[in-house]
């Protein structure tokens, strides 16, 4: 079983973020934890609404606490939340991750997370250049991020750091400074994301008002190449377009998501997938969630939507798309069409066809234009 919990509270919303969140002032932590555990009881025990097949049970179990800002949860309430979720597992999940903000990391909290069963921490650093952090509205500075990492290292041997590129004012030199610092710190995992200008965010309004300039495609591609080469030289393996790890330290939870494994999403704004064709989306409304429990929309995916999702998620990974799985799910005609559509990209060395193992994957050159290739294959 795989569980994702969405903690919607933020002390201050980052200017680029379009995830559902509300102000920390609304947080009644004991009542919120009660609501999450009540939803967990209903969702996990109602087999008719979320059936887990025997085949799926062969996958590792995970818990992922994301947000929002999960590191705002007081130690006592986090222990109660974790304990309530762990009661549904016969054995501890192989991976139990919490996302944290550097500003919230204290020795007491890190110890509480560890004692509650967390064995992996993902920290949103984004940059170690103070001017870049200030521009995107982060609460911490570079010194605080380094101090937080040192605290986490006393309790955890599996730490992931988030990095962003294409930031306003960022240069190859400033990005290299952050990369060098990350490598010196030595996390087991790095997630590197391009800054996205989403609708209805403060970042997009600032760009449209001419207050900041969006990085050009060529600049972003250059920064992505710099990240790939720097982390590869330091011994990190890219196992998904945006994710790099030491061997054996890939994110299990996210890897299962990319392979289409079921997961249960708890909390306002959380999503779930049954591993077949049903996607559930909890209403992103904290007040409604607290008053009436989880209200959700249910989407039944068509074969075409499932096919497109498989292409988008599998081709983002380094192992690629199983042609046997694709043909088995969508038929020989769909597989023949995919092979035909892929020919020009294979000839141009942007896709690699491994006939022996029945896999189709992006080449290193193809990764640089992955969106273009995937869209062409849809």
Residues 357 and 210 in one domain: no
Is 291 inside a domain boundary? no
Enter the DSSP assignment of 56. Answer: G
Q: How far apart are CA 342 and CA 289, in angstroms?
A: 45
Residues 356 and 224 in one domain: no
* Residues with Cβ within 8 Å of residue 151, at least 6 apart in sequence: 105, 106, 107, 110
Is 40 inside a domain boundary? yes
Q: What is the chain's alpha carbon radius of gyration, rounded to the nearest angstrom?
A: 21
What per-residue confidence (pLDDT) applies to 12? 87
Is 298 inside a domain boundary? no
Q: Looking only at Cα atoms, what is the longest distance across the chain?
A: 59
Is 103 inside a domain boundary? yes
Residues 135 and 62 in one domain: yes
Residues 106 and 203 in one domain: yes
CATH number of the domain at 334, please: 1.10.10
Residues 39 and 121 in one domain: yes
Is 266 inside a domain boundary? no
Is 204 inside a domain boundary? yes
Strands 264-266 and 2-7, by their bridges, are parallel
| Domain membership of residue 19 as a residue range | 2-257
Residues 204 and 343 in one domain: no
What per-residue confidence (pLDDT) applies to 45? 78
Q: For the chain (length 378 residues), average pLDDT per consecutive 10?
A: 95 89 92 97 70 56 96 98 95 96 98 98 98 94 98 98 96 98 98 94 94 93 96 97 97 95 96 93 96 95 96 96 96 97 97 96 95 95
What per-residue confidence (pLDDT) applies to 136? 93
Residues 84 and 229 in one domain: yes
What per-residue confidence (pLDDT) applies to 57? 53
Is 281 inside a domain boundary? no
Residues 116 and 200 in one domain: yes
How far CA 192 is from CA of 73, 125, 141, 180, 347, in Å, comes to: 26, 11, 18, 14, 29
Domains in the chain, number: 2
pTM: 0.94
CATH number of the domain at 223, please: 3.20.20.70
Is 272 inside a domain boundary? no
CB 320 within 8 A of CB 367: no
Residues 69 and 140 in one domain: yes
What per-residue confidence (pLDDT) applies to 51? 47
């Amino acid at each position: 079983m795989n569980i994702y919990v969405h903690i919607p509270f933020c002390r201050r919303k980052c200017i680029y973020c379009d995830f559902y969140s509300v102000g920390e002032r609304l947080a009644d932590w004991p009542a919120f934890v009660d609501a999450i555990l009540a939803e967990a009881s209903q969702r996990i025990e109602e087999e008719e609404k979320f059936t887990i097949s025997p085949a799926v049970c062969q996958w590792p179990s995970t818990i992922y606490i994301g947000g929002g800002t999960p590191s705002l949860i007081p130690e006592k309430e986090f222990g109660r939340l974790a304990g309530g979720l762990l009661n549904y597992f016969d054995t501890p999940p192989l991976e139990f991750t919490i996302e944290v903000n550097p500003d919230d990391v204290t020795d007491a909290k890190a110890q509480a997370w560890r004692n509650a069963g967390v064995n992996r921490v993902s920290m949103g650093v984004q940059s170690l250049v103070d001017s870049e952090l200030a521009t995107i509205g982060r609460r911490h500075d570079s010194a605080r991020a380094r101090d937080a990492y040192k605290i986490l290292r006393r309790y955890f041997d599996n730490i992931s750091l988030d990095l962003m590129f294409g930031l306003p004012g960022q240069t190859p030199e400033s990005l290299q400074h952050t990369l060098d610092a990350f490598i010196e710190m030595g996390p087991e995992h790095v997630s590197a994301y391009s800054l996205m200008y989403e609708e209805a965010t403060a970042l997009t309004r600032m760009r449209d008002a001419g207050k900041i300039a969006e990085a050009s495609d060529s600049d972003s591609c250059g920064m992505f190449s710099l990240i790939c080469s720097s982390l590869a030289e330091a011994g990190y393996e890219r196992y998904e377009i945006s994710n790099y790890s030491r061997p054996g330290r890939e994110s299990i939870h996210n890897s299962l998501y990319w392979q289409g494994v079921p997961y249960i999403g708890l909390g306002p704004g959380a999503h779930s997938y049954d591993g077949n064709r049903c996607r559930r989306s909890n209403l992103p409304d904290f007040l409604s969630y607290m008053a009436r429990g989880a209200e959700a929309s249910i989407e039944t995916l068509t074969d075409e939507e499932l096919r497109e999702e498989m292409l988008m998620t599998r081709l983002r990974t380094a192992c690629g798309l199983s042609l046997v799985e694709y043909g088995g799910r969508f038929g020989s005609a769909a597989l023949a069409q995919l092979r035909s559509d892929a020919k020009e990209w294979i000839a141009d060395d942007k896709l690699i066809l491994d006939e022996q193992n029945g896999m189709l994957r992006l080449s290193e050159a193809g990764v640089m234009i992955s969106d273009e290739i995937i869209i062409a294959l849809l």
